[in-house]
């Protein structure tokens, strides 16, 4: 139902020819003597769902506020849908749906009342019809007659998503969009973000690495105001420095000291049944060397698997400086 409703929303309201990108060039932001962003540059094209990652204080929210025209940069240039954030902030706000990290809401307003207020600011035609669609696709049907202050944190987050989507913007900037959601809600919102990303540019920040792996095609990692990685999630995992882990099962026993003679092996742990967890100290694939070791030692390799690093491990490596 969630996906079908969103497809209906696209058919009714999306102008497919207005799909544009975010362009950020040499953005620096100073807060007094503190440099929150240091010459940050990237571009996000239409149809991309990009995870913007970094530890607390790295500059994520600052960058998102600049893109959404809620905070001016100290230097550099940002364009959204071809409009400059300094010269045309009102045009950008028409085209950007923004969910801030703190999700400011009017707690004394009812859900429909609040979304109607936001829709009125955007001068949306057929507002009552849009409200029904937004309430359905964000899963607010059961709570729609409540005041926002009576909602759980998860449902308040859904209201925030609804207000970001209500004017059908070509660009969405979502700061921690799944904060406070239970597992079922989280799955539904992830599915919604994936559907949105098929027709829109989506930039989202999150601390949940599994969320980036499930939702995003690309990740930008920022640390201390500087981008330290930018590319497809799989490529970032492959290019990260450090060890690989390989699990191999032989047909009979061998010794740890023998395995550690293989070039690049720094650790070998027997887990029983002639199965070994082998850790390497290089980025090179040593599976061929393990096969050659087996041949030289009259062993047969029954199974072998190379374990890719998780995005969480890569994130820690790139930001622990």
Please name each of the domains of the chain with its CATH number.
Answer: 2-238 (3.40.50.300), 240-319 (3.30.70.100)
Q: What is the pLDDT of residue 3?
A: 46
14-72 per-position pLDDT tens digit: 443 344 489 999 999 999 999 999 999 999 988 889 999 998 889 999 999 999 999 99
Q: What is the pLDDT of residue 12?
A: 40
pTM of the model: 0.76
Query: What is the distance between the alpha carbons of residues 245 and 230, in angstroms, rounded to a whole number?
Result: 24
According to the per-residue pLDDT averaged within each range, which of 14-28, 157-171, 280-294 is highest? 157-171
Q: What is the pLDDT of residue 16?
A: 38
């Amino acid at each position: 139902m969630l996906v079908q409703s969103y497809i209906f929303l696209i058919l009714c309201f999306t102008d497919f020819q207005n799909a544009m990108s975010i362009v950020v060039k040499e953005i620096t932001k100073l807060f007094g003597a503190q440099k929150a962003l240091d010459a940050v540059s990237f571009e996000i094209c239409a149809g991309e769902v990009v995870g913007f990652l970094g530890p607390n204080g790295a500059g994520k929210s600052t960058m998102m506020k600049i893109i959404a025209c809620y905070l001016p940069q100290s230097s550099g240039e940002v364009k959204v849908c071809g409009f400059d954030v300094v010269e045309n902030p009102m045009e950008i706000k028409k085209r950007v749906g923004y969910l801030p990290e703190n999700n400011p809401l009017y707690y004394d307003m009812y859900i429909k009342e609040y979304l109607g207020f936001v829709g009125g600011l955007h001068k949306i035609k057929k507002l009552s019809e849009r409200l029904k669609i937004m309430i359905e696709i964000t899963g607010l049907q059961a709570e729609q007659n409540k005041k926002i202050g009576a909602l759980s944190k998860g449902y308040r987050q859904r209201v925030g998503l609804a207000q970001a989507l209500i004017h059908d913007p070509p660009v969405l900037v979502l700061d921690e969009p799944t904060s406070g959601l239970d597992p079922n809600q989280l799955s539904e919102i992830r599915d919604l973000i994936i559907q949105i990303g098929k027709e829109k540019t989506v930039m989202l920040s999150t601390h949940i690495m599994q969320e980036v792996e499930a939702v995003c095609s690309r990740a930008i990692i920022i640390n201390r105001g500087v981008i330290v990685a930018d590319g497809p999630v799989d490529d970032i995992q492959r290019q990260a420095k450090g060890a690989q882990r390989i699990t191999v099962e032989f047909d009979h026993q061998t010794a740890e000291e023998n395995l550690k003679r293989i070039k690049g092996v720094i650790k070998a742990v027997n887990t029983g049944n002639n199965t070994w967890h082998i850790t390497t100290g290089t980025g090179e694939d040593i599976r061929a060397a393990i096969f050659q070791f087996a041949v030289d030692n009259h062993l047969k390799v029954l199974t072998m698997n190379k374990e890719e690093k998780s995005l969480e491990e890569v994130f820690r490596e790139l930001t622990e400086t």
